[in-house]
Structure 1
Amino acid sequence: MNNKTHLIALDLDGTLLTDKQTVSERSKKIIQKVRELGHIVVIATGRPHRASLDYYNELNLDTPMINFNGAYLHHPTDQKWKVLHSPLPLRTAKSIVQTCYDMEVQNIMAEVLSDVYIDRYDTKLMEIVHTSKEENPIQIGSLKNQLKEDPTSLLIHPRDEHIVELRKNLDRDHASVIEHRKWGAPWNMIEIVRKGMNKAVALQRIAHYYHIEPNQILAFGDEDNDLEMLDYAGVGVAMGNAIAELKAVAKHETKTNQQDGVADFIERYFQINDK
């Protein structure tokens, strides 16, 4: 560790958040202390921005935020900050929807920034959406008919027994135009975004904005949607509960999300006195 300003990128599910989807008091305290030391903390998640803003505000952040695994980069508190939005082509999205119909997945959701489309009414997906019916009414009905614009992302709720087959089909038919990633616990979901979009691409833009070199970046994650980000960061940290592939890429490993692994590593790395 040195005294230069660092950029700290935090995944949410399975990383900063406990299994109950909360930020522990210890994590909040350590994140506040590292920010007081002059370091920059950003959220980098596969979640849509609506499902991340409560955590952003809880941490009192004033930085850009990465959503949809890099397909949407924006600044919640600075409207002048240039937004990066890279949606999927509509034709590709509708082809994937048809593949999902053919395989009889449990459900499919599409997001066009703040607009939400769900193929069939589903309380599990509604919980993920985190939206106000007044501000962002959810449109329920066949995505093949309802979806008229390029979506920021598609979210597939597969049946457990066909996840591998579904991902093989996505590779076979759409590998040149999409990225597909599996969400970590507690959601069993596959998210699809435009090819070339990942957390590392967005994080690189944030680092450039703050004039921070990769070796001054800490990134924390637990799933395959964090692979590029941890590989890009000079200090890539896999959670104790991370998948094996991520641990192989990461330069460091910390405790699990249930053991405040993010806070524990930051505290030790920056030699913070947690008193």
Structure 2
Amino acid sequence: MINFNGSLGHIPHHHWDKEYELTFNRKIAFDILHEKENLGIKIIAAEGKDLALADVPNNVLDGYFPTALKSTEVLNQMNLQRDPTSMMLLVDPDKKDNIVHQLESSFGDRITVGVWGGPNPILELSPRGINKTYGVRYLANYFNIDRQNVIAFGDEHNDAEMLTYAGWGVAMKNGTDKIRSLANDVTPLDNAHDGMAYYLEDYLNLA
């Protein structure tokens, strides 16, 4: 399994001697916390393997941030004792562009700032230069699979590099316009209707 936009490769609940985890300095998280109100950030989360912290409970947006926090799950200097693999920021949509500019100006040599498409004003921070292609390439090399034999599916901004890396990149029907323009093909059905499963049945003659 590849998580956090390519930053973590592992087999959940099992030991794998090829497991990897890429991180960035936790001081970045503390610096962003310190400037949270000035920047216009509503919620800050830091994540990694066996790591999930947020600075405040979520009462704004369903599904992406915890609605309740134990004292050990609060993002602060006491609880964040190691470098995170990823950070997610829920931001003021009117200030999103400025926040991206400020983060890239301050930390752009160490992190990549990803901007979610769609209605949710969420930013994702990853180690500099890392995206899903890193994880796909890592697995392809491990299993000795040629790039031309890799098929990848995506629907959002953070899938772009992976779709162009893969020998056959497929956008989901509900994918953003950018993702659809980069792909070799588009699924007839969307995420909510098993679009990837039906596409693979047809593409691999499994039906």
Correspondences of 1:239-258 after superposition (within 5 Å): 239-255=172-188, 256-258=190-192
How much has 1:184 moved relative to structure 2? 5.7
- Name the residue aligned to 2:44: 108
Indicate if the aligned counterparts of 1:115 and 1:137 stay in contact, CA closer than 8 A. no
Aligned with residue 260 of structure 1, among 186, 194, 200? 194
Q: TM-score, length-normalised on structure 2? A: 0.85
Give ranges in structure 1 of 5+ residues lacking alignment.
1-64
Q: Whole-Å Cα distance in 2 between the matches of residues 100 and 272 of structure 1?
A: 50
Aligned with residue 165 of structure 1, among 91, 98, 120? 98
Percent identity between matched residues is: 29
Q: Whole-Å Cα distance in 1 between the matches of residues 176 and 103 of structure 2?
A: 21
Deviations 1:166-191 (A, max 9, x none): 22222232222111223466854211
Indicate if the aligned counterparts of 2:117 and 2:176 stay in contact, CA closer than 8 A. no
Q: Whole-Å Cα distance in 1 between the matches of residues 163 and 55 of structure 2?
A: 34
Q: Does 1:201 align with 2:134?
A: yes
Deviations 1:27-85 (A, max 9, x none): xxxxxxxxxxxxxxxxxxxxxxxxxxxxxxxxxxxxxx001111111112541332111
Report the secondary structure of 1:157's partner residue: strand
Q: Does 1:210 align with 2:143?
A: yes
Q: Whole-Å Cα distance in 1 between the matches of residues 30 and 63 of structure 2?
A: 24
Structure 2 CA distance for partners of 1:254 and 1:77, relative to 1, 3 Å: same
Name the aligned partner's letter for residue 230 of structure 1.
Answer: L
Higher relative contact order (CA 8 A, sep 6+): 1
RMSD, aligned α-carbons: 2.8
Deviations 1:189-221 (A, max 9, x none): 211111122111011111111111111111001
Correspondences of 1:115-130 after superposition (within 5 Å): 115-123=51-59, 127-128=63-64
Deviations 1:77-118 (A, max 9, x none): 541332111111123333333343322311111124213221
Q: Does 1:155 align with 2:88?
A: yes
- Name the residue aligned to 1:41: none
Q: TM-score, length-normalised on structure 1? A: 0.66
Count of residue pairs brought into register by the alignment:
206
Structure 2 CA distance for partners of 1:96 and 1:238, relative to 1, 3 Å: same
- Name the residue aligned to 1:31: none
Deviations 1:112-169 (A, max 9, x none): 4213221112256895468xx8xx975225x366534211111101122222222222
Name the aligned partner's letter for residue 266 of structure 1.
Answer: L
Structure 2 CA distance for partners of 1:217 and 1:90, relative to 1, 3 Å: same
- Name the residue aligned to 2:204: 270
- Name the residue aligned to 1:97: 33
Give ranges in structure 2 of 5+ residues lacking alignment.
none
Q: Whole-Å Cα distance in 2 between the matches of residues 70 and 152 of structure 1?
A: 10
Structure 2 CA distance for partners of 1:79 and 1:263, relative to 1, 3 Å: same
Name the aligned partner's letter for residue 110 of structure 2.
Answer: V
Indicate if the aligned counterparts of 1:97 and 1:108 stay in contact, CA closer than 8 A. yes
Structure 2 CA distance for partners of 1:264 and 1:127, relative to 1, 3 Å: closer
Report the secondary structure of 1:220's partner residue: strand
Name the aligned partner's letter for residue 175 of structure 2.
Answer: A
Report the secondary structure of 1:79's partner residue: coil
Q: Counting helix residues as a fraction of each chain, which structure ranks higher?
A: 1
